[in-house]
Homo-oligomer: A and B are copies of this chain.
Amino acid sequence: MSEAKSELPEVIVVGRPTIFKFYDEELSKKYRMLKSWESSLALENYICKHGQSVKAMICSPSHLGIQISSSLFRLLPSLRLIVTTSTGLDHIDLVECRRRGISIASAATLFSEDVADFAVGLLIDVVRRISAAHRFVNNGLWGQFPLGSKVGSRKIGIVGLGSIGLKVAQRLEAFGCTISYQSRNKKPVPYPFYHDVYELATNCDVLVICCALTDQTHHLINKEVLRTLGKKGVIINIARGAIINEMELVQCLEEGEIAGAGLDVFENEPNVPKELLSLDNVVLTRHIAFLTEDSMRAMYELVCGNLEAFFLNKPVLSPVLDD
């Protein structure tokens, strides 16, 4: 068994990707998975010890703090492929990958539908106060309950009209919502386009954050944007926590400068601002918008497909291409 195992191609796994919580056994049958989290060594020492000949890596951003950059690449001189189990690439130094000739395969649009569904679920929950109503009933109350507002009466601003943003828009159109969007470039869609996020916020009362986290989008949503959104404003974030200035969001929510928020992501996961826990107008979930039985199965198949192609010297299935 151990001899057979040693013949399997080696893959280093960094950051304990969620997929290993569900498909560890299946994955470990196909590759010799070097699971850094199973070692008592610090990550860099572990890689130093095992990484010399490793050609492929699986990583995820779920274990934040780990940046896939030079300090790791120096310890992995044979590395030629990174398979990240995420759509976002903010944990990987793309420039350095290009320089070193390391290819990247990502989740691409695999999670788009699940994430879009979840965004709409959070939006309905906040606008119609479902979680708050559930707490109300669970506390043995009936009687008067604060009114929500009609979903279809809301003016939705999508921040970042990529694969997820577009699916959010398509779903919300079925509810009769008015859709606008902000994006780097105008897209071939019938929705009004705003280049500037303030202009979007001026014309909307709900913002759904669907863009990637980059230097340009870091703290894109600050207190000025939130105040522009207004007192009936609702913000939904299923993208990355740091796209919003979280401290300013907390302040705006506490002071009633906006009406509510549905947040699946946070600036310093797994830390959730304590102030949010006591608010009745927010719905908080733990970065699970992408996570379903279906998406985990599909992700498992995509990871296997990418590794298989790579070790057969074929093009990977979901390559990250240069802009």
The residues of A with any CB-CB pair to B shorter than 8 Å are 21-22, 113-114, 117-118, 120-122, 124-125, 128-131, 133-134, 136-138, 140-145, 147-153, 170-171, 173-176, 269-270, 272, 277, 283-286, 288, 291-296
Contacts and interface: CB of A to CB of B under 8 A. Distances in A.
A42 B141 CA distance: 25
9 closest A-B pairs (Cβ-Cβ)? A121-B124, A142-B270, A174-B174, A150-B294, A133-B285, A117-B151, A137-B284, A150-B292, A171-B174
A272 B137 contact: yes
Contact of A137 (B117, B153, B286): B286
Name the residue among A170, A283, A288 with the largest chain B CB count within 10 angstroms.
Answer: A288
Given A21-B144, A131-B134, A148-B292, 9 more contacts: A121-B128, A129-B288, A134-B283, A136-B285, A138-B277, A143-B270, A148-B293, A149-B292, A150-B294
Contacts of A131: 125, 130-131, 134
A145 B290 CA distance: 13
Contacts of A114: 150-151
Contacts of A149: 292-294
A171 B272 CA distance: 32
A296 B173 contact: no
B284 A150 contact: no
A143 B118 CA distance: 19
A292 B292 CA distance: 31
B113 A150 contact: yes
A296 B148 CA distance: 11
Nearest to A119: B124
A128 to B, nearest CB: 6
Contacts of A176: 113
A284 B171 contact: no
A147 B296 CA distance: 9
26 contacts: A113-B150, A113-B151, A113-B176, A118-B124, A121-B130, A122-B130, A124-B124, A125-B125, A125-B131, A128-B292, A130-B131, A131-B131, A133-B288, A134-B284, A136-B286, A137-B272, A137-B286, A140-B277, A141-B286, A145-B291, A147-B293, A149-B292, A153-B294, A170-B174, A173-B174, A174-B174
